[in-house]
Amino acid sequence: MASSLKKELLLPTDTANGSVSAELGYSIDAEDALTRKSEDVAMTTPCLRKNLTLIDGICFVVNVIVGSGIFTSPGVVLNDAGSVALAFVAWGAAAVLAVCSGLVYAELGSSLPSAGGDAHYYEVAFGEFTAFIYVWTLFFVVNGGGTALVALTFARYAAYAIFSLNLQAQNIDSDIRIQALGVSCIAVSTIFNCFGVQVRSALQYIFLLCKIILVVLLGAAALIFLFKDTSIVKHNFAEVSKGGKFSGFGPAVVAALWAFMGWGGVVYLSEELKNPKKDVSQAIFGGIGIVTMIYLCLNAAYLSVLTTTDVKASVVIGMETATVALGPQAGQIIAILVAASTLGTLNAAVLSHGRYLYAAARSGYIFSWMGHISKESGAPYIALIASGAWCIFILTLLQSFHQILGYFGPVSLFFIGLTAAAHIKIRRDLPDLPRAYTVKFYPYIPIIVMLACLYLIVTSFITNLLPTFLAFGLAFLSLPCYKLSEYYYRCKSFTPKDFFHYMRF
């Protein structure tokens, strides 16, 4: 608490052993950051309600992941990989990376439970400067782009179910009806999340039920089709290695990984889980395991009904699979279920985005009013509304699936790798930190995550230079913003974090 009192009184302290420059006026090392977090927050800030169970956490992980990528990525993965065999290897590689990263998140989430998630880990490991960059980038690039992409996927399937749009038309994503549906689903999910945990928790079960029905129906459709015609599946798997392109393996893994994105989102709920020390790791394990099984079944179903050429060209592969297997009415039903499944993913994503902004405001990285919690619902409503508004802006600005994917994908990989690096540093700096779960085969697991992310980022620069360059350019704009505010408030011995913390609007 001593360091916190020095900060409150604006008294400079010895910075010889600190992680922050002497110019900032006080020292923050890893243990001091943990102490300041726990003591200051407990004294000055209202807490989120601990109402969620392990089952809620598992459902959250499944809902965050399943519902968008698996219904858009299979064609892209197969097209980049070139062959069925290499495409399945790409899916496997994405699953392995998700599991390895999930193990890292499991340890960090159970030992450092905080709604701040990665931002909290970065502050403990590297200091507030890195955490500030992450908060900036997460809001403007990662969350905005990812949620906009999920909303666009929802709008595609919903537009077919409602308006019977021809989704093979050029520039279909800019159609006013698709844009209106995408904006509406973000707005509705934001409003529902503002009502609090219990309403949101009930919605997660409804969306999860839609996912289960969807997987069962697509599997049944594939089996029924196989009883009538096995020529397509025999043709698809006759020469599984033919046409493989190892130069496209990296992009294929990136496309497949998009379908797994969200495995670490449960850490944002760690303060609302009843037993976070155990539930965080178990929720990640259970959720990723269920998702992997679902993806294997769905890929097998697609390739049992559609030719590889059709899979590569498809943008709504679930609907087309059901249409070929059972007819147009079945395709309509699947389109509705995919839209509902994707809405569940978006609902869970909006939830986690609000929680990270709440934690960032509570920690002083953004204006304090962003962390206000509703007395009635217990939800950080201002953070939720701000996040939803920015996602809508990104969707209406970019309007293209490929542009949005190129906008946020590589930057997401950068922070996945950075989290693995933070895990190694926290293990080294805080060896006695209580850990309900510890990663096996340490440090090889986090090193694998870092190397894989580096490979995929390099691949993205090679194959998709402009969007990747623009995304990283926007991310690094946080550097001058931090330095300018630091320079302006140096005379007061304030950091940018202090400024936002004490500015009570």
User: In residues, how long is the chain?
Assistant: 505
pLDDT by residue (tens digit) across 359-393? 777 766 666 777 777 777 677 778 888 888 989 99
Cα distance between residue 110 and residue 219, in whole Å: 36
Instruction: Identify whether the C-beta of residue 262 lies closer than 8 Å to the C-beta of residue 61.
Output: yes
Name the least confident of 185-199, 217-231, 426-440, 458-472. 185-199
If you average pLDDT over every residue of the chain, what do you get? 77
Domain extent listing, the chain: 1-44, 50-114+144-403
Q: What is the pLDDT of residue 302?
A: 93
pLDDT by residue (tens digit) across 291-300? 888 888 889 8
Cα distance between residue 330 and residue 394, in whole Å: 33
Torsion from C-alpha of 117, 73, 210, 221, nearest 10 degrees: -150
Q: What is the pLDDT of residue 5?
A: 27
The strand pairing partners of 52, in sequence order, are 273
Q: What is the pTM of this model?
A: 0.76
Residue 16 pLDDT exceeds 60: no
Instruction: Identify whether the C-beta of residue 410 lies closer than 8 Å to the C-beta of residue 471.
Output: yes
Name the least confident of 365-369, 434-438, 440-444. 365-369
- Percentage of the chain exceeding pLDDT 70: 78
Confidence of residue 303 (pLDDT cuts 50, 70, 90): very high
Residue 449 pLDDT exceeds 90: yes
Confidence of residue 269 (pLDDT cuts 50, 70, 90): low
Residue 492 pLDDT exceeds 80: no
Residue 9 pLDDT exceeds 60: no
Q: What is the pLDDT of residue 35?
A: 46
Confidence of residue 20 (pLDDT cuts 50, 70, 90): very low
Q: What is the pLDDT of residue 183?
A: 92
- Percentage of the chain exceeding pLDDT 90: 14
The H-or-E segment that residue 108 falls in is: helix 84-111
Name the least confident of 53-67, 217-231, 322-336. 53-67
Residue 115 pLDDT exceeds 70: no
Positive or negative, the CA dihedral 124, 126, 132, 135 is: negative
Q: Which residues contact 240 (CB under 8 A, 6 or more apart)?
A: 83, 84, 85
Cα distance between residue 185 and residue 328, in whole Å: 25
Mean pLDDT of 251-269: 78
**Which homologous superfamily is 50-114+144-403 in?**
Amino acid/polyamine transporter I (1.20.1740.10)
76 token code pair: 């892209």
Q: What is the pLDDT of residue 37?
A: 46
Of 442, 67, 53, nearest to 275 by C-alpha is: 53
Confidence of residue 502 (pLDDT cuts 50, 70, 90): very low
Residue 92 pLDDT exceeds 80: yes
Residue 41 pLDDT exceeds 50: no
Of 149, 157, 198, 135, nearest to 353 by C-alpha is: 135
Helix-, strand-, coil-residue percentages of the chain, each rounded to 5: 75, 0, 20
Mean pLDDT of 350-367: 72
Residue 196 pLDDT exceeds 80: no
Name the least confident of 92-101, 162-171, 311-320, 426-435. 162-171
Write the single-letter amino acid at 264: G
Confidence of residue 444 (pLDDT cuts 50, 70, 90): very high
